[in-house]
Amino acid sequence: MDYQIVDLIRKKRDNNTLSGNEIRYLVHQYAKGCLPDYQMSAFLMAAFLNGLNDEESTSLTHAMLSSGSVLDLSHIPGVKVDKHSTGGVGDKLSLILAPIVASLGVRVPMVSGRGLGHTGGTLDKLESIPGFRVDISLKKYVELVEKHGLVLAGQTNEMAPADKKMYALRDVTATVESIPLIAGSIMSKKLAEGIDALVLDVKYGSGAFMKTHTRAIELAQTLVDIGESFKKPTIAFISSMETPTGLAIGNWLEVLESIDVLQGNGPSDTLHQSTLLSGAMLLLAGTVPTIEAGIIEAKKAISSGKAFQKFREIVQAQGGDLSYIDRPDSRGTAKHCYPILSSNQGYITRLDAYLLGTLSVRLGAGRQQKEHDVDPLAGIRLEKKLGDYVQKGETLMTLHTNKDLDLDELERWVFSSIQWGASQAEPQPLISHILDKNGLRAYS
Amino acid sequence: MDYQIVDLIRKKRDNNTLSGNEIRYLVHQYAKGCLPDYQMSAFLMAAFLNGLNDEESTSLTHAMLSSGSVLDLSHIPGVKVDKHSTGGVGDKLSLILAPIVASLGVRVPMVSGRGLGHTGGTLDKLESIPGFRVDISLKKYVELVEKHGLVLAGQTNEMAPADKKMYALRDVTATVESIPLIAGSIMSKKLAEGIDALVLDVKYGSGAFMKTHTRAIELAQTLVDIGESFKKPTIAFISSMETPTGLAIGNWLEVLESIDVLQGNGPSDTLHQSTLLSGAMLLLAGTVPTIEAGIIEAKKAISSGKAFQKFREIVQAQGGDLSYIDRPDSRGTAKHCYPILSSNQGYITRLDAYLLGTLSVRLGAGRQQKEHDVDPLAGIRLEKKLGDYVQKGETLMTLHTNKDLDLDELERWVFSSIQWGASQAEPQPLISHILDKNGLRAYS
C-alpha cells in the first residue's frame, strides 16, 4: 500500500492517529532514501508537538527495527540481557556492570552510543582505551557473545538504520526531547541486538534529558510498555541525575574510575548503582530469585576479581591494549591539569550535573559539533562531592584539558555549578522508583 | 548577529516568541541556501502548530520581503493600488477589475500566482491568451506601469525569493493552511510590487482555503494588520466561496467570461464583485470619496468601453494576440465538450465550489503535480447556477477537456456537487464583511 507522504504528515499535524502501516511506510521510505529529510522533519515536529499514543509508539519502534536486521542469538544458550541508560554526566555504569554480569555466566550483548550534548557515551569511553574497537561486524559481534558472553559495540548499519538516520535529523531539528521518539529510538536499537530482556536506567534532573521526575516516569512507562509488547521482560529504574555519577567525568578518567570500582574501590554511589542494575539483569536472566540476591552476586563478582578479569578479557578481545588497563598511569594525562580551589566555605548543597557536563565538553571530553573528535584525556575529576564540607582554599575539582582555555572563565563555570549551605541539604534518594510489567513502585 | 538555527526552532517549538532579528536570520539564511530544507520545515511545522503572534507575523513578512528587492515605483505619480484574492473557483475578478481601475487613471502593478490545488490562478488564465507573457523583467514591469498604468505579471526571482522557496516547501510538508504563514506569504509578495495600498478579497467556504467565516476574518485581520504596519492602507472584504464565481471555471473559459463582463455582459455576481473591489481600489487611490462612488465610476468605465480598451491595450503590451480577444471563437474548443444533463428536478440549493474546482483540475484546467502543464481550453461552463430551477433532462453544465475520461465518473462527480430542494435555499450574501484599520463591519 502506498500513501501520499504529505497526507501522513497532515494526519499527525491534525492530531489524528496513524496506523501501523502508515508509520511503517513513512519510516521505511525514509530509511530507503525515498522520502526527503524535509518531509521527515516536518513529521517529527508534528509528532513532537502532538505526541504519539502507545500503539503508535510501538508501531514506530517496530518500523525502525524492521528497517534493518534483528540479530539472532537464539543459538547461544541462556537469557541475553542488556542495560540501557538514558544518559547522564559521569555515567560509566555500563563499563562496570557489563563485565560483572557476564562474569556470572549471563550473556550481555551491549550496543551503546556516543556522547550527546552534555552527556558522555559508552563508545567514546571505550575508545579512550588505546586499540579498543567498537565498530565491529555482525559476525564478530556474534562471536564475541559466544566466546566471551559479552560484546561492547556501536550500532552497525544493519541495526535499525531508520533510527540512525532519524536520530541524526532530530538532533538538528529540535525534535530530540520527545518521549515516544526517544522510546522508539532506544527500543529499536536494543531489540535489534538480539536481547531477551532489558534493564533500563531512566534518569531525571539537571544532567539528564528528562528534567523532571514525572517525565522520567512517563518515559520509563513507555519504554517498559514497548519492551513488554515485544515480549521482552523489562525493568526500569528511575534515578536522579542532579549531580554527576562518581567522581570522574570524561572518557579515560571514567575508565580509570570503572577499573577502580571493578577492583573493589571507587565511589560508593557508582558501586551501588552498578551492582543494583547488575542485580536486576541477573534477575531477568533467571540466575537469582530477587534483585537483592543479584546484588550480592554482583558484589561477589567484584570481590573475587572475576568481574575485573572479564573486563580485561573483553578489552583484549576487542583490540584494546591491556597494558593501559594494568598500568593506567602509562596512559599519561592531558597537557593542562588545573586544580580549582574553593573561594567559599561550607557544605556543597548542589553540584550541578548539567553545568559540569557542558564544562567537560568545553574541556574537550565531548563534541561541540557532530564531526568533532573527542579528547580521550579531557575531563573533570571531582575532589569534593555533593554534601561534602569544604574549607576555603581546598581543591574542589581538577580540570583536564589539552586546549588552551581561559582559566578565569573555567573557574567561573565551576563556581556557577556549586551552591553552598551552612548545613547539608536533605539527601535525595539516588534511585527513587522501579517500574516493570507489575507497575511502578518506590524503590528503597 | 548569528544564531544557532536549532535554538530558533526549539524556541518556536516551545511556544516562545521569536524576535524580529531571529526571524530575519532564519528567513534570510534559508533564502541564501545556508539553511537546509529540513530545518526550515521543522520550523514551519512548529510555527503552524504553535502559531505566530502579530509581531512575529509582521517580522516574517518583513524578512521575506527584504530577502529580495522592493520595486520602487515612487517616480510614477499617483497612488499605486493592487488587489489580492486568497483564491477560489472561477475567480476571474483580477482580469476584470485591473483594467477597470487602470482605465480610470489609477496605476495597478499586479503580481499574481498560478493555480493551486482546486483553485485557479490569474497567471494561468492570462497565459491562455496566445502569446501573453507573464514572466517579464523588472525593467519591463516598471515600463508597463509607466506607459499603461497596468502590469499583470508573475513573481520574479527578485520579489520575496524567500517566500517563493518557503511556499514550495510548505506545499509538500503539510504546512500551508496557517494564517500567519499565509499572511506573510501574501503580504511579502504584494509589498514587493511597489504598491501604496491594497484591496483584499478574503474568501471562505468550500472552494476557499479558509473553510470557515471565522478563519477568513482572522486571516483578513492579520493581513490588514500587516498592511497597516507597513503604512499601506488596506481594505479587506470577506466573501463567500461556497459556489463558483460566475459561470466559467477554467483558464480560457474565464478569459471569455471576463471579456463578457468588460463588454457590459456576463453574470451579475461577477460584475457585482468586480465593481465593488474596483470601487475600494479607487477609494484607496483617492480618486473617489466612497466605495459606492467608486462602484459608479467602475460601471461607467465598463459602459463607456474604456475598461475593455485597457484590457486590449495590456494584452497587446504583454505580447498577447489581440485577434483572439476580438474574435474569441477563433481560439477553438477542447476536443471533448460533454453536456451533463440533469437527472433531477428542483431547485439547486448547493453547487459546491470545491468539488467543481477539483473536477476542473481533473479535466486539465489545473495541475495535479507541480510540474504539470495546464490545458488552457479545459474547464467547466455552468448552464445552471445556485438557486436556479432545473427540469429533468436540462443541461446543468458542459465539461471541456482534451483528455479521454470516463464520462460516467465525470457525471457522478457533477451530481455529487449538487444538492436539490423543493424551494430555493435562503440566499447568503456574497460579501459579508469589510475590514480595514477602523475595524470589522458587516457589508451590505
Structural domains in chain A?
Answer: 5-51 (1.20.970.10), 81-327+431-442 (3.40.1030.10), 335-421 (3.90.1170.30)
The pLDDT value recorded for residue A236 is: 98
Mean pLDDT of chain B: 95
Helix (H, G, I), strand (E, B) or coil at A435: strand
Residue B171: its pLDDT value, please? 85
What digits encode the pLDDT tens for the residues B326-366?
Answer: 999 999 999 999 999 999 999 999 999 999 999 999 999 99
DSSP A108: E
Q: Contact A174/B36, CB-based, under 8 Å? A: no
> Residue B147: which pLDDT band, with cuts at 50, 70 and 90?
very high
- The pLDDT value given to residue B3: 87
Best to test chain B binding among A45, A165, A178, A181 (most B CBs inside 10 Å)? A45
Residue B425 has a pLDDT of 86
The per-residue pLDDT for A131 is: 98
The end-to-end CA distance of chain A, in Å, is 51
Which region, left, alpha or beta, applies to residue B284 given φ > 0 means left and ψ of -120 to 50 means alpha? alpha
Asked if A49 and B50 come within 8 Å (Cβ–Cβ), the reply is yes
What percent of chain A shows pLDDT beyond 70? Answer: 99
Q: Which three cell numbers stand for residue B353?
A: 465550489
What is the rounded CA–CA span in Å between residue B367 and residue B124? Answer: 10
A117: confidence class by pLDDT, cuts 50, 70, 90: confident
Query: What's the rounded mean pLDDT across residues B374-399?
Result: 97
- All three cell numbers of A132, joined, read 579498543
Contact B37 A38 (CB under 8 A): yes
Q: Provide the strand spans (E) within A124-246.
A: 150-154, 197-204, 234-240
B59 is catalytic: no
pLDDT at A116 over 90: no
pLDDT confidence of residue B14 = 97
Among candidate residues B80, B84, B190, B362, the one labeled active-site is B84
- Select which of A91, A163, A352, A436 is catalytic: A163
Tell me the one-letter amino acid at A54: D
- Interface check B16 vs A, CB under 8 A: no
Identify residue A39 by its one-letter amino acid code: Q
Interface test with A, best of B41, B165, B170 (most A CBs within 10 A): B41
Does residue B369 surpass a pLDDT of 80? no
Active site residue B91: no
Q: What is the mean pLDDT of residues B11-17?
A: 98
Give the nearest partner residue to B174 out of A13, A36, A169, using CB atoms: A13
Helix ranges (DSSP H) in B152-290? 161-171, 179-192, 213-229, 251-262, 268-285
All residues of chain A having their beta carbon less than 8 Å from the beta carbon of residue B38 are 36-38, 40-41, 169, 172-173
Q: Are the Cβ atoms of A45 and B50 closer than 8 angstroms?
A: no
How would DSSP label each residue in A339-382? EEE-S--EEEEEE-HHHHHHHHHHHTSS-SSTTPPP-TT-EEEE
Residue B368 pLDDT > 80: no
Q: How confident is the model at residue B444 (pLDDT cuts 50, 70, 90)?
A: confident
Is residue B170 annotated as a catalytic residue, yes or no?
yes
Of A38, A172, A175, the CB nearest to B169: A38
What would the pLDDT profile of B224-279 be if each residue is shown by its tens digit?
A: 999 999 999 999 999 999 999 999 999 999 999 999 999 999 999 999 999 999 99
Identify which of B5, B7, B42 has the shortest CB distance to residue A44.
B42
In this prediction, residues B70-86 reach a mean pLDDT of 95
| Interchain proximity A174–B37, CB inside 8 Å | no
Position A82 confidence tier, pLDDT thresholds 50, 70, 90 = very high
- B interface test, pick of A22, A37, A38 with most B CB neighbours within 10 Å: A38
Q: Do A13 and B49 touch (CB under 8 A)?
A: yes
User: Rounded to the nearest 5°, which phi and psi values hold at A386?
Assistant: -50, 130
Q: Using CB atoms, which residue from A7, A10, A49 is nearest to B46?
A: A49
**Residue A356, pLDDT above cutoff 80:** yes
**Amino acid present at A49:** L
| A106 contact partners, CB below 8 Å, separation of at least 6 | A78, A79, A81, A149, A281, A282, A285, A287
* Catalytic status, residue A84: yes
Q: What digits encode the pLDDT tens for the residues A410-425?
A: 999 999 999 999 999 8
Residues of B (137-196) whose Cβ lies below 8 Å from A: 169, 172-175
Interface check for A6 against chain B (CB to CB < 8 A): the answer is yes
Of B5, B7, B45, which is closest to A42 when you measure between CB atoms?
B45
pLDDT at B1: 65
User: Chain B: nearest CA to A245, how far in angstroms?
Assistant: 28
DSSP B383: S
Q: What is the pLDDT of residues A238-274, one digit of tens each?
A: 999 999 999 999 999 999 999 999 999 999 999 999 9
Mean of pLDDT values over A299-322:
98
Within 8 A of B173 by CB-CB distance, chain A residues are: 6, 9, 38-39, 42
A163 is catalytic: yes
Q: Angle, nearest 10°, between helix axes B179-192 and B54-65?
A: 40
pLDDT(B15) > 80: yes
Do B122 and B94 form a contact (C-beta atoms < 8 A)? yes
Burial class (CB in 10 A: 0-12, 13-18, 19+), B44: buried
pLDDT at A370: 67
Task: Output the pLDDT for position A1.
Answer: 65
Summarised one tens digit per residue, pLDDT across range B280-304 is: 999 999 999 999 999 999 999 999 9
Shortest distance, CA A61 to any CA of chain B (angstroms): 22
Would you place residue A397 in the very low, low, confident or very high pLDDT band (cuts 50, 70, 90)? very high
**Helix, strand or coil, per DSSP, at residue B339:** strand
Neighbouring-strand partners of residue A150: A108
Shortest distance between the Cα of B168 and any Cα of chain A, in A, equals 12
For B62, list phi and psi in degrees, rounded to 5.
Answer: -60, -45
Q: Which of A348, A170, A390 is nearest to A244 (CA)?
A: A348
